[in-house]
Chain A
Amino acid sequence: MLSTTSQVKVDPRDAKLSMAHFYVAFIALAIGGLMGLLQTLVRSGKFELPGGIGYYEILTVHGVLLGLVLTTFFIMGFQHAAVSRTAGTHSNAARRTGWIGFWVMTIGTTMAATMILMNKATVLYTFYAPLQAHWIFYAGLTFVVVGSWIDGAAQIMTYAKWRKANPGKPGPLLSFMAVVNTVLWFVCSLGVAAEVLFQLLPWSLGLVDRVNVLESRTLFWYFGHPLVYFWLLPAYMCWYAVIPKIIGGKIFSDSLARLSFLLFLLFSIPVGFHHQLTEPGIDPAWKFFQVILTFLVVIPSLMTAFSMFATFESAGRAKGAEGLFGWIKKLPWGDARFTVPFIGMAAFIPAGAGGIVNASNQMDQVVHNTIWITGHFHLTLATSVVLTFFGISYWLIPHLTGRKLSKAMNKLAIIQAWVWLTGMTFMSGSMHAEGLLGAPRRSAFSLYNGAKQAAEWIPYQIAQAIGGSILFLGIILVLIIFVNLAFFAPKGEEEFPVGETDPNAEKTPMVLENWKLWIGLTIILILFAYTIPFIDIIRDAPLGSKGFKTW
Chain B
Amino acid sequence: MQDARIRLFSFVSLSIATFLSVPGAVLSLGWLLLSPGTLRETMKSAAFWVILLFVTIIATATQMSGNDGLSYFIRTGVIILLGFSVYREWHPGEYLDLSVWLFGKKAGFDIGLAVEMSIQGLHEASREFARIRSALSLKGLQPGIRLIPAVGFLMIHTRLMRARDQADLLATRGYRAGGSCCPVFRTSNRDITMGILAILVVFLSFMPVRDIFILQM
The finding on whether chains A and B are genuine partners in a shared complex, rather than unrelated, reads no
